Amino acid sequence: MKSSANVPLYIGGFIDLNTTNGGWNSGGVYPAIELALQHINQDQSLLQGIKLELVIKDSRCSDAYAIKTLVEHITADHTVVMLIGPGCSIAAEPIAIAGKFWNLVQVAYAAGTPRLSDKTLFPLFYRVNAPETVANLAIVAMLKKFKWSRVAIVKEDVAVFNDVSEGLQLLLRRENISLIGANSFITNPDNVITDLKQKDARIIIVLTYEGKCRKLMCSAFRHGFYGKHIVWLLRGWYVEDWSKVVTDVTCSPQEVQSAHGNYIAFEEVILSTSTEKTINGLTPDQLNKLYLRQARNISYPINSYAAYGYDAMWVVALALNRTNTLLKESGLTLHNFTYDNKYIASIINESTAKTRFFGMSGEVAFLDNGDRISSMWIEQFQDDGEIRVGVFDATHGDTGVDRINGSPPPSEPVTITEIVLIEMPLFVTMATIACAGIFLSTLFLILNIKNRQRTFIRMSSPYLNNFIIAGSIMCYTCVILFGVDVFLDESDHVIHSAICSFRLWLLSCGYTLAFGTMFIKTWRVYKIFTNHKLDKQLGRLHDRHLVCMLALMLSVDLLFLSVWQAVDGLKTEIRNVQTENGRNKITILMPVFLACTCTHKLIWLGCLYTYKGLLMIFGLFLAWETRNVSYPALNDSRYIGLSVYNVVIWVSISVPLGYTVVYDSVNAHFALVSSAINICTTSTLLLVFGPKLRSFSISPEHHPESTRASAKSNVVKQHPECPGCKCE
């Protein structure tokens, strides 16, 4: 131990003790600095004839108090030859800027702002901790490892975190990682949490002091923004059990912990895990035990940066020891230092830059910019505390992670597509009704053929009636085809595309056969009964001529559909319905359905609906014009009119609803379309063939219409162009 006669040499120290402003409290580092000072002063080989004295000032993690305490050091009765600290970047930066004017070399133990790496602005500044940019490298490496490609940044609005955020954003852009938001706050983080919820942020990088981090987590809890789908990436230099200190928030420790969940923290490998002996002959672990004992003795909180404080003090001692040796060659000593002595200051600066030793934090050496690069612990909050789950090697950029709790959630929801099929009971119901309609149509067909020679059937053109029945069967078949999706999935898109086209052709042609035939029959009646004086040549009105007209109408359908198919054919598209979060909020269920579409579908459908609409208007006109014809066996105008009215109502309802309200609802859309087809087709069949079926139960001699026809036989003439047709 050195003699008490040794001349004291003063070191200006800065510790952030009173941090009621919310800054980082570095008070727990002080016992480690004191421990190092004891070991240095006990070392006979160092600074012979000199005893280092540390004068501590509270910089309060404040730029204003930092300058105040610096001035207090400079204006004191003694001269300080070097500065150590502070631990807070906010306080370290102004001291580093101003200290050079008094030629004071500064060694910090925890200041991480990237700005301090600029030697042109801070030529006399050194730090034994790594800058925050190393943590940025570790974060980006972690993002890449877990394939997190979508992140958000939340920062406290102070200079150090603004600088760190800027550097981090550059790294994210370089690695093509999407930044969905960079929010900052001063005191109230509620708006930040609201924005994160709206953007559905999952991976959130937090750049704040621990006090603001507690407020952030408390706000997240109040807003319900927490769960296994959210991962917070924090700085690891918060005090132990930081989330349990709730004096500055309105949440309980349990609520804060619920909000932060299994957060991941990045902390420098501060305390070396090596068993190698340090510069004072003890291992890092032995020094840490001494530190813990000393911290408890003087009632200071434990601080994870203690090892840096211990080594920072050794950097000061070794630099001064080398400087003292060099000065002796010139007949000077360290006590010759004054605040305007640039010569001694330059030697101290050079000696600090060349300092190299193995300390409590490991190998200590400085880069050209005064920084020190170190590895990073990767820690995760598990159960009731932080557990080290990996390490980041800053030299090689490698991230080794093991023992992580749970599977890393994705950075954005995993979309799981789920094809929505028509419910089987609905399909069975509609298909059964359609099959019943087909059976009814077949029954009418049999009766129509079997009784075609009966007067009532023969006068209604049984051959044309067959076309009506055939068209109805085609429409019923479309109901089954519209529901065949229940048997298909996404892999059957080729089959579905073929069905899309086939049912379009079938429905269009079925409509033409069913209603076109009725309209042609009515047109014949119209031509006959509007020619009262038989003074016009009506042309050929035999059934075969009407069939040719029907074939012409059908040809228009076939030509239009062929052009549509060739130019812009229907194909299957997998279309989204609404999305909904999965139970664990990590997945999103994306219901999809198979839709028939093409590039200009609305235009093609518009043309088709226009053509069919004109045909229907023509039928209405004929039905109205022949409403007074008194031969029901020959004239279906009344029933055709009712059929057309029925179809118009259903089309007016189903088409707008089918393409707007229920379009994205597979079951509702199928129910609407199939109901419209079933009701329109069935009602048409019953209206057209029901009276004929009823006539079978009435003998011709008792049929009222036959009686009426006989009574008028004296004025009825045979029409020469239509055998079997009569007119008044």
Tell me if 55 is assigned to some domain. Answer: yes
Residues 179, 124 within the same domain: no
Q: Is the dihedral of CA 519, 524, 528, 531 positive or negative?
A: positive
Give Cβ neighbours of residue 335 (< 8 Å, ≥ 6 apart): 7, 9
Residues 61, 112 within the same domain: yes
Residues 81, 143 within the same domain: no
- The 10s digit of each residue's pLDDT in 54-86 is 999 999 999 999 999 999 999 999 999 999 999
What local confidence, expressed as pLDDT, does residue 531 receive?
65
Residue 475 to residues 506, 534, 641, Cα–Cα distance (Å) = 7, 39, 19
Residues 328, 262 within the same domain: no
What local confidence, expressed as pLDDT, does residue 538 receive?
52
Q: d(Cα 116, Cα 108) in Å, to the nearest integer?
A: 10
- The 10s digit of each residue's pLDDT in 98-135 is 999 999 999 999 999 999 999 999 999 999 999 988 89
Residues 152, 238 within the same domain: yes
For residue 2, pLDDT beyond 60: no
Closest by Cα among 294, 272, 293 to 282: 272
For residue 724, pLDDT beyond 50: no
For residue 727, pLDDT beyond 50: no
Binned at pLDDT 50, 70 and 90, residue 615 comes out as confident
Residues of the chain with pLDDT > 70, as a percent, come to 86
Q: Tell which of 269, 303, 331 closes a domain.
A: 269
Residues 205, 265 within the same domain: yes
What local confidence, expressed as pLDDT, does residue 723 receive?
42
What local confidence, expressed as pLDDT, does residue 125 receive?
98
For residue 152, pLDDT beyond 50: yes
What local confidence, expressed as pLDDT, does residue 651 receive?
77
For residue 290, pLDDT beyond 70: yes
- The 10s digit of each residue's pLDDT in 302-338 is 898 999 999 999 999 999 999 999 999 999 999 999 9
Q: Which of 215-219, 404-408, 442-446, 711-715 is the most confident on average? A: 215-219
Strands 414-419 and 385-393: unpaired
> Which CATH number does the domain housing residue 103 bear?
3.40.50.2300
Report the Cα 582 to chain-centroid distance in Å. 13
Q: d(Cα 16, Cα 62) in Å, to the nearest integer?
A: 8
Of the two residues 453 and 256, the one the predictor is more confident about is 256
Closest by Cα among 580, 575, 581 to 420: 575
Mean pLDDT, residues 669-698: 82
What type of residue is 221? F
Residue 191 to residues 187, 216, 726, Cα–Cα distance (Å) = 11, 10, 87
Q: Is the dihedral of CA 631, 637, 643, 649 positive or negative?
A: negative
What local confidence, expressed as pLDDT, does residue 174 receive?
93
What is Dmax (Cα atoms) for the chain?
155
Binned at pLDDT 50, 70 and 90, residue 636 comes out as low
For residue 343, pLDDT beyond 90: yes
Residue 558 to residues 426, 512, 553, 564, Cα–Cα distance (Å) = 32, 11, 9, 10
Binned at pLDDT 50, 70 and 90, residue 696 comes out as low
Strand runs labelled E in 157-301: 178-185, 203-207, 231-235, 264-268
Q: Tell which of 317, 342, 372 closes a domain.
A: 372
Of the two residues 456 and 32, the one the predictor is more confident about is 32
Residues of the chain with pLDDT > 90, as a percent, come to 52
Tell me if 700 is assigned to some domain. Answer: no
- The 10s digit of each residue's pLDDT in 382-407 is 888 888 888 887 766 666 665 566 66
> Which CATH number does the domain housing residue 494 bear?
1.20.1070.10
Tell me if 411 is assigned to some domain. Answer: no
Residues 247, 105 within the same domain: no
183 bridge partner residues: 154
C-alpha angle 458-464-470 in degrees, rounded to nearest 5:
125
pTM: 0.62
Helix (H) or strand (E) holding 55: strand 50-58
One DSSP character per residue, 466-492 reads HHHHHHHHHHHHHHHHHTGGGG--GGG
Q: Tell which of 237, 269, 301 closes a domain.
A: 269
Residues 65, 152 within the same domain: no
What local confidence, expressed as pLDDT, does residue 461 receive?
76
For residue 587, pLDDT beyond 80: no
Residues 121, 145 within the same domain: no
What local confidence, expressed as pLDDT, does residue 373 receive?
81
590 bridge partner residues: 417
What integer best gives the mean pLDDT of the chain? 85
Residues 485, 506 within the same domain: yes
- The 10s digit of each residue's pLDDT in 263-277 is 999 988 999 989 999
DSSP annotation of 514 reads I
The position carrying tokens 């006068």 is 459
Give Cβ neighbours of residue 675 (< 8 Å, ≥ 6 apart): 430, 654
What local confidence, expressed as pLDDT, does residue 453 receive?
74
Mean pLDDT, residues 406-426: 78
Residue 677 to residues 475, 645, 687, 689, Cα–Cα distance (Å) = 7, 14, 15, 18
For residue 48, pLDDT beyond 70: yes
Binned at pLDDT 50, 70 and 90, residue 449 comes out as confident
What local confidence, expressed as pLDDT, does residue 9 receive?
97
For residue 351, pLDDT beyond 70: yes
Mean pLDDT, residues 401-430: 77
Report the Cα 132 to chain-centroid distance in Å. 29
| Domain tally, the chain | 3
Tell me if 195 is assigned to some domain. Answer: yes
Residues 149, 297 within the same domain: no
What local confidence, expressed as pLDDT, does residue 703 receive?
45
Residues 512, 563 within the same domain: yes
Domain of residue 254 covers 132-269
Tell me if 713 is assigned to some domain. Answer: no
Tell me if 593 is assigned to some domain. Answer: yes
Mean pLDDT, residues 651-662: 73
Tell me if 528 is assigned to some domain. Answer: yes
What local confidence, expressed as pLDDT, does residue 203 receive?
95
Tell me if 383 is assigned to some domain. Answer: no
The position carrying tokens 């609906």 is 609
